Structures are given as C-alpha cells and as structure tokens.
A and B are shown apart, each in its own frame.
Chain A
Amino acid sequence: MGKKITIDPITRIEGHLKIKVEIENGKVKNAWSSGTMARGFEAMLIGKDPRDAPFVTSRFCGVCYSVHQITSVRALDVAFGAKVPWGGTLLRNLVMGAQYIYDHLIHFYQLAALDYIDIMAIAKYKGKDKDLLAIKDKIVGLVKAKDTYPLTPRYEPDDFTVKDPEIVITAVKHYIDALKVHAQARNMGAIWGGRTPHYQNIVVGGVTSYPDINQVARFRTMLDEQARFINEVYIPDVLLFGTGPLWPLAEMGVGGGHYNYLSYGAFERDPAGKELVFPAGVIIGLDPANIKVDPFDHKKVTESVKYAWYKESKPVHPYDGEQVFNLEKKEAYSFVKAPRYDGKSMEVGPLARMLVAKNPTLLDLVGKGAKPGAVARHAARAVETKLVVDACYNWLDQLLTEMTKPGFKIHDTAHWDPPEAGMGAGFYEAPRGALGHWVKIKNKKIENYQCVVPSTWNASPRDEKGVRGQYEEALIGAPVPDPENPINVVRIIRSFDPCLACAIHIIDPQTNEIRKFVIE
C-alpha cells in the first residue's frame, strides 16, 4: 500500500478540482480525480425560451468564456432551422479566434508557467538589461518585505525546474507582458463581441453586431500585435522550455495517459464548411509513426455514472441518459460523469486536435522523441494558436469582401422565433477540447438540455469496467520522489488546462426528478 495524498484545491485552473494520488516507490501508482462544485444550469434551462441558452451557458465558465455560447447557438441553429449567413459565421469565428488566442496565452503564462520555473532564481540575475533589472528589483523588494504572495508559497523546485536566472527572469517578464497582451486579445474580441468575459453578440441565426470597415481595420491592427507576441515570444518560449530544460520530461512522456484522442472539429474556412482549421477525427491507441485517424461518429459516445454522484444506471448515449442526483452514493467520488467513445477513455484538447490534424510542427517534435504528454500538450497549444491567428487574417479578408457585397447579411432573421418543436446538436472545439450541446424544444420552450464538455472527457472518474479517466491515467507513473512536494502531479493536471465548472451536470436534488433525454 503506497502513501495516499490529496491535493485540494488544485489551483490555477477554472473550477473546483480535487486530485488524490497513491504513491509507491516515488511514483504515482493510482489516482482519483474529483469535481467538487455543482450548480445545475441544464436542469434550470428546462422550460425557458431556447434563446436564453447561449447567454446562460456561456456562464458555465468565464475563463473559457463564450465557448458554450457558440456551441449552444450551433445546437439552436439546427433546432430552429436557421441558416447562418457567411458574414455571421465569419464574425463568430473572428470573436472566437480572439478568445482562443487569449485563452492559450493565459493558460501558458498565468496558469501553467509557475510550475516550471524557480522564481527565486531571479535574485541571481547578473545581466544588465534594464527591463529585467526592474523585475529583479521588484521581486527582490517583495522578498525583502517578506511578502511574495501570490508567487509563494509554492511546491519546492525539483530536478525539472528551470533555475537558470537568465531564463527565469525572461520568463517572468513574459508572464507580466502576457497579462497585457491577452487583455488586448480580449479587447480585440470585444470589437464585435461587445465585452469580455462573455460576448453578447452571438445569437441563434448569426450575430447582432453589424460591422463597419473601421472595426475591420482596428481588429487587424490589434491582431498584428497578437501575431508578433505569439511568433516572437510565446512559440519561442514553449520551444525553449520544451526542447531545453523540459526535454527529459517530454522524452519520458510524463502525463501521457491512454493515448486515445478525439476532436469534433471547428472553425470553417469556407461557407460550405468543407475545410476546417481543426479537422474532426478519432485516434485510438496512438502510434506516432503511423497515425490512424477515424471519422467521428457521435453515436459511439456513452456516459457512465458508476463513480459519480448520480443514481445507478447503465452507460448510455447522452441523448438517452436517465439521470438522478444521488449525493449519498458510497462508491462515487465526483460530480463529473464518465464519457467514453466506443467504450474508450479519451483525451480532448490541443494535443488531440494537432494529432488528429497530423500537424507537421507537432509531429516533428514527436519524431525527435517527445512522447505525447504534459510537455507535448503545451507545444500543441502554441502551435495551434498560430493556426488561429493565420485563420483570423483570412477571415478578415473574407469579411471585407462580404461586407461590400449588396445584401450583406449577418443574421437569419426569418428563423429568429423559436419553432413549436425541434431538436439539435451543436459541436465545437473549445480551447480545452471537444464540446457538445444537445437541445430539445417543445411548445417553443426548452424541453431538455444536455452538454458533454471537454473537462468531462478529461477529468472523468472511472467507468463500469474500472477504466480510469484521462487525468487519472495520465498521472500513473509520474515521478513524485517527495510526497510532500507533488509538483509533477499539478504539472500534469494543469497541462490539460482544466476547466471544472462546466464539467458538472446535476439533476434537481429537491424533486429527485428523472430527466429523460431521448433523440429520435
């Protein structure tokens, strides 16, 4: 029996997450991932005007804001029979593109980077760079004042921690610069999104923001700034860390998991949606030398509640789910359900997307010996940020062309009112991974609403067969030489960019009412 330790709360993520690991001979032998907060948005949506859903579900998460909004409208577009004009899709893509850029930057610099650097190494900086010396003064000042919150306390630096003062101080400068840069990315999205977090312009049938040419120019100017930071700072930083001090972690493939990957696909490049920036697909049992991608079939998705606080039931397709909330269930340890694809535990997110896309930059790193794991996840995130930036330029060009055509449209006004009855599924790739919403409408009101979100895939507990979720599996074998200092555990978990608030689904505990969701 190994030593069991619990990390609660896991910080620098969105939501409330508890991780328990069993450590034996300095390595993680077993792991349990628990979501510990629930609100019950979907149950609340029942009986509401369907057009409320995008606004409300956006509030699942304010870090990864508006991803539920866009997925929700995609489900409503289908249910309403709305045909979104290409102008509307372009504006949706542009504001979501801005969201992606911000989201990946804040994840790397604000949420993850502190796990990899020894911030106190700054005191040993001997260089003469004025900006860096100012940072040294600031940090040394904080240390002298004995007030280094929130940078400390922290887990103690280990063998993989970067301690070179030059690298560390530069990374901290980029940490501070990134705060400003991703705030500007959010401002860029607000040009049409209205404000952030939580855009206001995305509605069923298209968008509310009729663009003008000045806004296009403004967006482009701000995009130039983002492109500069991403190409000259973010990508080089990730490569410097990934192929330098963190290469041993990458080679060991720490945080690998099941090697099953899923992408729903997102971001149309053309009005027909034939070509996507992120293609859809499934990889089961990755062979890096010969990647086999199967088409995604939503019928193969099931959800298990064996170890979640819901009444016992067999694993079923989310459409067919019968769920009753049960806080007393003995074997349960999470509010997160366990989705499986064809019975398999899957990883979703940037690494899944870039593997499914067979992205050459990522495959080049893999070819050099980087096994898919925590470090590869950061690399995939950086690689795809550039893809989104490039796509934004293309969408801006297309938008300008569209805007100057007579009869330019941003919204399908004929399908604004809810249908008497209808149903629809919306799929999207949130920065954290595959996201799906399902809506059923009756008497112009929501009859049922269901989401399967990225962190449900990644953070799921065990299923009927006892197969671990991807977080749990990814932790197995992780080096933890000192149980008091489980820094590799949080590194692995944060590499997924957890986002727990939206991973929680519940059913009315007051009435214990059974909600059926059946798709014909």
Chain B
Amino acid sequence: MKKEVTLSKKLESELEFHGVNRRDFLKYCAAMAAVLGLSEFEFTTKVAHALEAASKKPAVIWLEGQDCAGCSISFTQILNPPAASIILDKISLRYHETVMASAGHLAEKVYHDTVKEGGYVLIVEGSVPSADDRFCMVGGRPFRAIVEEAAKKAAGIIAVGACATYGGIPAATPSKGIGLDKALPGKAVINLPTCPVHPDHLAGTVLYFLTTGKVPPLDKIGRPVMYFRESVHDNCRRRSHFDAGRFLKDWNDPKQKEWCLFQKGCKGPMASSDCPIRRWNEGINFCIDCGAPCQGCSEPGFYAGMTPLYTAESEISKRIWAMREAGLIPRKES
C-alpha cells in the first residue's frame, strides 16, 4: 500500500501563500521522485522538511553607519507586539550592534555567515559618508563597502530614519552623508524616514513583509503609502487656525496654546506622514502637540532644506506662505 505523506498545516498555509495547492505540490513531488529514482514518500518528506526549514524565522541584519542609534531605540519602543517578542519570536536578528550579545570577531563572523547564506532582510540605520570612506569604519572596513556587500544578497532592504533614507542631518556635514537612494542606486529600498523612524512604521512594514512576502505599496520616493499618504497639515488639529491666520507667538499664553505654529517654523504642509493621527509614544504626544513645529523630517530636504528651523524665514516656509496666499493649500472645510 502506498504510504500517505502528511503535510503540516503550517507548510500547507505557507504553500498557499505562494499560490501552490496541496495537490499540485504532491503531483510535482511524484514526478520529481520518478526522475530521481526515489520513492515518492521519501522524496516528498524530504522536500516538505526542507520547505519547513526554509519557512523558519527570517534572518535580519541591521547595519548602523553614520547614525545616532535613535532608530534602534525607537524600535525598542514597539510595545504591541512587544519588541522582545519580535526580536525573539518573529525574526532571527543576526547582527545589530546595539543589541547583540557578541562583539568583535564573533560579531563579524555572524555577519559574514549570514551574508553568505543570503535571503535576509537588510535594515540600514544611518547614512553612508560620501566625502571619504574613513569617516565611518566598522570592523576595519568602510561602511560603504559593507552596505554594498550586504545589499547584494538581501531579500529586502529597509532604510530606517532620515539619515539612511535621504541623508538627513549628516548630508549637511563635511562628511557628506548620503542615504541608500544614492548609496545603492537602482536597488529597491523601502524608505521609512522621520527622525527617528516611527516604531509603528517599522513594525508594520516588517510584519507586512513577513506576512505577505511582499513589499507594501510605495510612493514615488520609496515610502509606504499606508503611512505617508497625507500631509501633516492635512490632519493637524491646529489647521483651522492656519486658515484663520491665528499664529502662536508666545508659548506662555494659554489662549494661544492651540494656535498654528507656522511662525515658529512649522513645515507641516510640506511634510507627509501620519504623525498627527498615529502620534508617537503609544499615542501620548507628537511634536506639534507639545507646542513644537513640524520640521519635515519625513522629507528628502531634511535638514538642509528646512533650516532655519524655528522661524518662517526658510525657503520652504516662504513657499508655504506663498501657497497659502494663492489658495493652493486647501482650507479645512473644503
């Protein structure tokens, strides 16, 4: 009697994800077994095991270049699901300088082994210095070379924070930091800007990737549409004050407390992010609600294009004003 091969529920659902039903899978195995002269049972069991092994936790390499580790800290802010459960249950975090137990050559070895294996998710925090490689060296090698090498065999690449996406603050420094858009030209990269990365943006993108095996829909500059569709201004609760021309001048005046922060340098109309709806720190607050202007950290122009930060005298602020006067910024009621 022919032995029946049992496929685990997990494998079945895994196959389904990739558009393969159980019958097709067994048919394929039978055909291959015949070609190889193996018993159908033996072959199918082997393939099933191999596939199960392949569906284990995906390897993640997290590289830090010209960074401040703020995005790493932001990542630990993920409470639902807790960061610990993501680190231990959902992913196999092979290399992360701020988290990993190992150091020195042990750390380097894990990195090299994982890169050799390929198929990992590569997360990059911090910019790549373009003025001179020696501005950022890790394990005696230029960070630029490490990023290029790690990108080659990555299954997916996520740039986290303003620095890794579009250069951020280091772009304005003598080391001339560049983001992955310039460091890895032509590579598909998911960009999660803001300074630092929003923990929900990162958790959601990783979980989307793990669940569907696909990259979420991205906008023209590589940001997931689900988080960066609308401008900060669109959803700002101070928006009606912008329309009415009530601008906060004195932080001491309780009457002005909720007024528009444009005169204090707010770039909300030119910044796309769901900060006002999602907010930060589990919904406790976000920049504008603590009386501070949005500095457009979700945009490629951050920081050089946003300075001076705390006045309406920057070029971008002047543009916002001109657009307001020309009626190009939709009013709240419209």
Contacts and interface: CB of A to CB of B under 8 A. Distances in A.
Interface of A: 6-16, 18, 36-41, 43-44, 48-49, 51-52, 55-56, 59-63, 65, 85, 106, 110-111, 114, 119, 138, 142, 145, 147, 149-155, 176, 179-180, 182-183, 186-187, 190-201, 203, 206-210, 325, 327, 408-411, 413, 486, 490, 501, 506-510
B286 A194 contact: yes
Given A39-B177, A209-B291, A413-B250, A62 B72 contact: yes
A203 B64 CA distance: 29
Contacts of B309: 49, 51-52, 55
B323 interface: no
Given A187-B281, A209-B291, A44 B69 contact: no
A210 B251 contact: yes
A187 B282 contact: yes
Interface string B158-178: 000000000011101111010
A254 B89 CA distance: 37
A6, A59, A111, A152: residue with the most chain B Cβ atoms closer than 10 Å: A59
A38 B175 contact: yes
Contacts of A51: 308-311
B64 to A, nearest CB: 8
Given A39-B135, A198-B70, A411-B252, A155 B170 contact: no
Contacts of A52: 307-310
B254 interface: yes
- Which 3 A-B residue pairs are closest in the complex by CB-CB distance? A62-B70, A194-B290, A208-B291
Contacts of A490: 103
A111 B101 CA distance: 9
A111, A187, A191: residue with the most chain B Cβ atoms closer than 10 Å: A187
Contacts of A39: 66, 129, 135, 169-170, 173, 175, 177
B98 A13 contact: yes
B92 to A, nearest CB: 5
Contacts of B121: none
A43 B169 CA distance: 12
A179 B174 contact: no
A77 to B, nearest CB: 15
A149 B92 contact: yes
A195 B287 contact: yes
Given A62-B69, A197-B196, A9 B254 contact: no
Contacts of B69: 14-15, 61-63, 501
A437 B24 CA distance: 68
A60 B250 CA distance: 29
Contacts of A11: 97-103, 107
B97, B105, B140, B285: residue with the most chain A Cβ atoms closer than 10 Å: B285
Contacts of A6: 104
A509 B131 contact: yes
B101 A191 contact: no
A152 B70 CA distance: 24
Interface residues of B, number: 87
Given A16-B138, A196-B77, A196-B280, A179 B252 contact: no
A149 to B, nearest CB: 5
A56 B303 contact: yes
A149 B280 contact: no
19 contacts: A6-B104, A12-B98, A12-B99, A14-B98, A60-B68, A61-B68, A62-B69, A106-B76, A147-B92, A155-B102, A190-B281, A190-B290, A194-B290, A195-B287, A196-B281, A197-B68, A201-B291, A411-B250, A486-B104
Interface string B62-90: 00111111111110110100111001110
A150 B93 contact: yes
Contacts of A155: 102-103, 106
B331 interface: no
B106 A153 contact: yes
B14 interface: no
A7 B57 CA distance: 29
B98 A63 contact: yes
Contact of B101 (A7, A151, A187, A507): A151
Nearest to A42: B173
A36, A48, A508: residue with the most chain B Cβ atoms closer than 10 Å: A36
Contacts of A36: 136-138
Contacts of B83: 179, 183
Contact of A9 (B139, B249, B291): B139
